[in-house]
Structure 1
Amino acid sequence: MSSAVIIGAGPGIGQAVARRLAREGLAITLIARSGRTLRAVAEAVGPLGVPVAAMEADSTDQAALNAALDQAVSEHGVPDVVVYNAAIIQADAPGELSVRGHMEAWAVNVVGALNAAARVVPAMAARGSGTFLITGGMPEPKPEYVSLSLGKAGVRTLVTLLDQEYGPSGVHVASVTVAGPVAPGTDFDPDDIAEHYWRLHTQPRHQWEPEALHAGGSR
C-alpha cells in the first residue's frame, strides 16, 4: 500500500495535506510533538478509511524523529511521500532574537527537514521513486521576520542540495511556498494549499518543479 508521512502534522496545512493524500488511498503516518494535536488530526483523517498512525516526536530531537520514521517504514514500508511541515513562525526584527533563539528556529525550520531527509530519502532513492516536500514561506525576506526569512532561505538551499543528491535516482524534492497567513475560507485556505502537494507528487519527472508558490487569489 502506498503511504505518506506528515512531519509537523498540525491543524492547518498538515491536516489538510494528510486528508488530501488519504483521499488518494495512501496510508498516513502523522508525526508531531503534541499528543493532543496528533489525536485531533488523526480523527480528521480517520473517516477517509485509510490506515492512520500517530507518533509523538519533536522535529529537533533527532533520535525521536528517527525512531518515528523507522516505525513508519516498519508499518507501511518506505513512504511514497514525506512532507516536512514543522516551522517556528514568529516576528523578530534584526538584533531582537538571541543567539539561542535563532538556533532553535533554525533547528526546526531547516535542520529537522535535513535530518528527516537523511533518514528516509536514501531508501526512496534505492527504490527509484519518492517525493520529499518541505513547507516553505516568505517568498521575499522581511526585516520584521528575520529568523523565518533566514529559515525559508535555508529551505530553498536544502531543496537544491537534496535534489542534486537524490534527484538523479528518482526522488522529487521540492518546497511549497505559502505567501500569507493560513486560514480556512481565505485565499490561503489549507485545503487549497494542499493541492500543491498532491500536484508536485504526481508530476511527471520531466516536469518536476523545485517550488510551488501559493500566493493567494485562487478562490
Structure 2
Amino acid sequence: MPSLIVVGAGPGIGASVAAALSDAGDRVGLVARSRAGLEVVAQHLPRRRVRTARADVADARALDEALDTLLDAIGLPEVVVYNAGLIRADRPGELSDADHHRAWSVNVLGAARTAARIGPAMAARGRGTLLFTAGMPVPAASHTSLSLGKAGLRALVDLLADDLEPSGVHVAEVTVGGAVEAGGRYDPDAIATAYRALLDEPYGRWRRHVAYDGPAASTPAVRPPVRTGGG
C-alpha cells in the first residue's frame, strides 16, 4: 500500500497495527496526543518513511490540522485506522455532561471527523479502507461512557459503510473483547492480524464487524455492498 494513517497511535494496538498494515518502504502517518507515544510507535517502523502529527482527537480543529499535515506529507492513504479511545471506569450517573461529551468526542466524534476528512476523497478515487478499533462487545455498567461510545462507533461504521462502500471504500471495525496486554489473550500483535485480514478481503465479501476474543476471532455475517461506481 502506498500509505497508511493511524489515528490514536499508541504503544499497544496502534503500534502493532501500524507495523502489520505497512510494508517496507511505505509511507506512514501517525497521530497521537503525546510526542513520547509517537516516538514509541515510530520505533516499530524502522524502515518506513514515518510522518507524525500531535493532536487531541477531541479537539476538532487540532485533529483537522493534524490530518491535513499528514495528507500533505504522504498523500491520500490507502488505509486509515482510527484507534483512539477514552477508557475509564464510570457508572451510570457518575459523569457530568462535560465528561460524557469528552468521552463521546474521543470515542465517536473523532472517528466521524477522520472519516469525513478522508472518506470522500477515497470514494472519489474509487478505493480505500477505513478501519476502527471498537470494544465493549457487551455493555457494562462499570464502564458506562466506554460502552456508550463503542456502541456508537459500531453504528457509525454501518452508516459510513452504507455511504462509502458503493464507491469502493471498505469500512470495518474490530471489537476487542478485553484488556489489551502483550503476551496475553488480547496481545496487540495478535489483534493486528484481524486488521490485516480485512485488507485481503475481495469486494463483495467485505466484513464490517469483526469480534476479536482471542486468537480465533469470530465474525457476524454482514450484507455485501452494492457497488454503483469506483474502481
TM over 0.5: yes
- 1:105-128 Cα distance to aligned partner (Å, 9 max, x none): 000000000000000010000000
Match of 1:125 among 118, 123, 126: 123
Shift of 1:25: 5.0
Q: Unaligned regions of 5+ residues in structure 2, if any?
A: 218-231
Whether contact under 8 Å (2:8, 2:32) holds in the other structure is yes
Shift of 1:22: 2.5
Paired residue for 1:151?
Answer: 149
| Amino acid across the alignment from 1:193 | I
Whether contact under 8 Å (2:52, 2:70) holds in the other structure is no
Shift of 1:190: 0.1
Which aligned pairs between 1:27-46 and structure 2 lie closer than 5 A?
A: 27-45=27-45
Which aligned pairs between 1:3-152 and structure 2 lie closer than 5 A?
A: 3-23=3-23, 25-45=25-45, 47=46, 49-152=47-150
Whether contact under 8 Å (2:25, 2:49) holds in the other structure is no
Whether contact under 8 Å (1:187, 1:218) holds in the other structure is no
Paired residue for 2:171?
Answer: 173
Q: How far, CA to CA, are the matches of 2:215 and 2:201 in structure 1?
A: 23
Query: Considering only aligned residues, what root-mean-square deviation do their CA atoms show, in Å?
Result: 1.5
Shift of 1:149: 0.5
Shift of 1:104: 0.5
Q: TM-score, normalised by structure 2?
A: 0.90
Paired residue for 2:187?
Answer: 189
**Identity of counterpart residues, as a percentage?**
50
Whether contact under 8 Å (2:190, 2:215) holds in the other structure is no
Q: TM-score, normalised by structure 1?
A: 0.95
- 1:164-190 Cα distance to aligned partner (Å, 9 max, x none): 111110111110100001001111000
